């Protein structure tokens, strides 16, 4: 392997070390599973771990985890695919996969400031499956099912329920809502995890949405490439490509999750013309370190996945033990900027509690503002002056002409 082209700061990847994670876990936990069964996402779902008795057969729980399973049972369900379970370190309670999938006692405690609906979605929910919070885009909640129920889930009020795909009537009402609102150009399908739908059910949603003239793009939020990569089949990838532009937004939080299987799933999507971006969530003692985020970004870029957002943890009930101070996220971004390629530096995003919407933060590099120049500091702390121009008229004289021509020349849908 040519190590001269590897991103700076990341050692060469051993040929077998990452491959052994899931392979060794599978051999240890599911020795009787055939290759065909292991590669079948429906088999994975049928054999998911969903309770204390099953979990204790596979992982020696700590007292804190045992209490967490018991005390959160009525609050938020457990579900861990065999594949994701195979990545858990049975010896270390701070294994990042373990922390995301097995509850601890702190999760049962609701702290001041935590909210059942931390993003204020329910008050902007005109239909059961539609959240319309931003002017030009809607969130389409397709189902309440996931391959793994993440302990940091911001939408646990929805995914705590029973297995429920959209009914045909709900689907129709959701699509009709989008059709009636010409300001909507972007539809984000989420849930639950939309990739838990069969290809045909997913197509029943993609097809009518893509036919709406004012819908310019569709995004799908999914953790399947991370937790159930065998679900990403050629058939699924071809279905998504048929309704391009479709963007997949996935959710890797730690380098340990970027296994050969996960990388293959992401690359299969990209190879079929489906762009993939990643939104990580910053979690205390799990990935709250610039070195970890840097390694994660580099591994994702190797698989042609763009590190897009680093999310500050939402104030969902039972999640404070995982939240970091805002200052920690800014510190991480500052430690990345200038020390790795810009593509590897995600946007630090905060979804304001109660429905204020998403804002992004970055370290303040401007030191002094003046009429003639603005003074900045760079990533080394050195000062540089940027001379301000004499002319400040920023109107765009051609804009009226272009607005008239854009549709004629095919730059707009419809």
Tokens of 54: 């099953």
Q: 37: Cβ–Cβ under 8 A, 6 or more apart, which residues?
A: 43
Tokens of 231: 């679900």
- CA torsion through residues 167, 171, 172, 173, sign: positive
- CA torsion through residues 38, 41, 47, 51, sign: positive
For residues 363 and 365, give the distance between their C-alpha atoms in angstroms, rounded to a whole number: 6
Residue 101's H or E segment, with its range, is: helix 96-101
| CB-count burial class (<10 Å; 0-12, 13-18, 19+) for 395 | exposed
End-to-end CA distance of the chain: 48
Q: Map tokens 């001379």 to a residue.
A: 387
Q: Map tokens 């049975």 to a residue.
A: 90
Per DSSP, helices labelled H in 15-62 are 17-29, 35-38, 41-46, 52-58
With H, G, I as helix, E, B as strand and everything else as coil, classify residue 183.
coil
Cα 288 from chain centroid? 17
With H, G, I as helix, E, B as strand and everything else as coil, classify residue 168.
helix
With H, G, I as helix, E, B as strand and everything else as coil, classify residue 279.
strand
If you ran DSSP here, which 8-state letter would residue 3 be given? Answer: G
Query: Known binder of ligand: residue 396?
Result: no
Residue 264's H or E segment, with its range, is: helix 260-271
Query: Known binder of ligand: residue 146?
Result: yes
What is each CA distance from 397 to 102, 169, 392, 407, 411, in whole angstroms?
58, 48, 14, 19, 19
User: Beta strand 347-352 with 306-311: parallel, antiparallel or unpaired?
Assistant: parallel
Query: Known binder of ligand: residue 227?
Result: no
For residues 101 and 77, give the distance between their C-alpha atoms in angstroms, rounded to a whole number: 10
Report the b/e string of 360-388 with b at 16+ CB within 10 A: eeeeeeeeeeeeeeeeeeeeeeeeeeeee
Tokens of 162: 């029973």
For residues 272 and 282, give the distance between their C-alpha atoms in angstroms, rounded to a whole number: 30
Annotated binding site: 146, 150, 153
Annotated binding site for [4Fe-4S] cluster: 146, 150, 153
């Amino acid at each position: 392997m040519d190590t001269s082209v590897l991103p700076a700061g990341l050692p060469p990847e051993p040929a077998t070390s990452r491959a052994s994670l899931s392979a060794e876990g599978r051999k240890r936990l599911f020795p009787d599973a055939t290759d065909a069964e292991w590669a079948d996402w429906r088999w994975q779902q049928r054999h998911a771990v969903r309770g204390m008795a099953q979990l204790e057969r596979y992982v020696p729980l700590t007292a804190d985890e045992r209490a967490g399973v018991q005390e959160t049972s009525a609050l938020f369900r457990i579900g861990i695919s065999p594949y994701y379970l195979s990545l858990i370190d049975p010896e270390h309670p701070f294994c990042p996969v373990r922390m995301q999938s097995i509850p601890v006692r702190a999760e049962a405690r609701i702290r001041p400031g935590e909210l059942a609906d931390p993003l204020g979605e329910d008050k902007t929910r005109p239909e059961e499956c539609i959240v319309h919070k931003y002017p030009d885009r809607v969130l389409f909640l397709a189902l309440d099912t996931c391959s793994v129920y993440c302990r940091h889930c911001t939408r646990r009020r929805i995914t705590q329920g029973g297995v429920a795909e959209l009914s045909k009537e709900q689907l129709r009402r959701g699509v009709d809502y989008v059709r009636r609102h010409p300001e909507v150009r972007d539809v984000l399908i989420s849930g639950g995890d939309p990739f838990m739908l069969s290809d045909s059910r997913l197509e029943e949603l993609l097809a009518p949405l893509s036919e709406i003239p004012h819908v310019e793009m569709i995004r799908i939020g999914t953790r399947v490439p991370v937790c159930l990569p065998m679900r990403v089949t050629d058939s699924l990838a071809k279905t998504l490509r048929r309704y391009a532009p479709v963007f997949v937004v996935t959710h890797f939080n730690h380098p340990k999750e970027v296994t050969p299987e996960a990388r293959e799933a992401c690359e299969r999507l990209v190879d079929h013309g489906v762009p993939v971006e990643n939104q990580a969530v910053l979690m205390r003692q799990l990935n709250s370190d610039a070195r970890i985020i840097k390694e994660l970004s580099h591994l994702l870029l190797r698989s042609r996945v763009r590190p897009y957002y680093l999310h500050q943890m939402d104030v969902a009930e039972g999640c404070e033990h995982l939240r970091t101070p805002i200052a920690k996220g800014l510190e991480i971004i500052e430690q990345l900027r200038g020390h790795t390629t810009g593509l590897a530096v995600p946007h630090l995003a905060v979804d304001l509690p109660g429905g204020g919407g998403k804002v992004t933060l970055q370290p303040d590099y401007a030191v002094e503002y003046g009429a003639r120049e603005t003074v900045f500091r760079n990533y080394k702390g050195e000062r540089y002056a940027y001379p301000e121009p004499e002319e400040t008229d920023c109107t765009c004289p051609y804009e009226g002409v272009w607005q008239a021509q854009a549709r004629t020349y095919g730059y707009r849908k419809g």
